[in-house]
Amino acid sequence: MSEYLPKERVLIVDDDHELCELLVDYLEQEDIACHFVNDGLTGLEEALTNDFSLVILDVMLPGLNGFEVLRSIRRSSQIPVIMLTAKGEDVDRIVGLEMGADDYMAKPFNPRELVARIRAIARRNNRYAAQPEQQNLPVHLSYGDVTLDAGTRTVTQNGKIISLTSVEFSMLQELLNNIGKVVQRDQLAISVLGRKLEEFDRSIDVHISSLRKKLGHQVNGIERIKNVRGVGYQYTTT
């Protein structure tokens, strides 16, 4: 029996019918319940109207493409999304992350790696939410104008709720738990993405850029999230 619970339900949106069937067979052997559709519009409707815990979304789709589907999902939902991109299409990966995807995988990929990514996202989302005090970490984190609630997985800035994706929330949480310290990029990748960074992988940098845009680059004239070149990132104190 896998550590992954059957209650987790994954939606696969890909026009390759054979690939979808292979993935469903493989994932269900890992106790991951799956449903697949083969076009963007149906995928969008399914993602927004059914109780899925994660979406696996191909970029190249008939009707609405993957980017259009992701953009529409993010208008009303923060459900985790893993984008599937063509091998070597670095621009697609960056665009997907900038639009709110949690992670990406390049085709062709090993199904075992996909399972690892799904489980990493599930662990990240459940890491503190159920009983954060058992992790010996604070439930509430407040620094300057930002307050993070680990129990409800919400972030407010000057009392206003800030809409963050699940990976952005976890990245901010990691930085705030290490306030004033430099957190290495590799450490962020392991703790937030649940994987090691690949060569030329800009995932962490893109998520940090998105956080800066949503929270503001500066607070009280001081850079909010400082880039320590060649090392990592630091949420600075004021």
pLDDT recorded at residue 7: 62
Local confidence pLDDT in tens for the 238 residues of the chain = 344 444 689 999 999 999 999 999 999 999 999 999 999 999 999 999 999 999 999 999 998 999 999 999 999 998 999 999 987 778 888 999 999 999 999 999 999 999 999 988 888 776 544 444 445 567 889 988 999 998 888 999 999 999 999 899 999 999 999 999 999 999 999 989 988 888 888 899 999 999 999 999 988 888 999 999 989 999 997 6
- Please give the full DSSP string across 106-166, using - where no structure is assigned: EES--HHHHHHHHHHHHHHHHTTTS-GGGGTS-SEEEETTEEEETTTTEEEETTEEE---H
**What separation, in Å, do the N-terminal and C-terminal C-alpha atoms of the chain show?**
48
pLDDT recorded at residue 145: 92
- Dihedral pair phi/psi, residue 84, rounded to 5°: -105, 125
Give the strand pairing for 81-86 and 103-107.
parallel
pLDDT recorded at residue 87: 74
pTM here is 0.84
* Domain range list for the chain: 9-126, 132-235
pLDDT recorded at residue 200: 82
Fold of 9-126: Rossmann fold (3.40.50)
pLDDT recorded at residue 207: 95
pLDDT recorded at residue 2: 44
132-235 is a CATH 1.10.10.10 domain: yes
pLDDT recorded at residue 137: 61
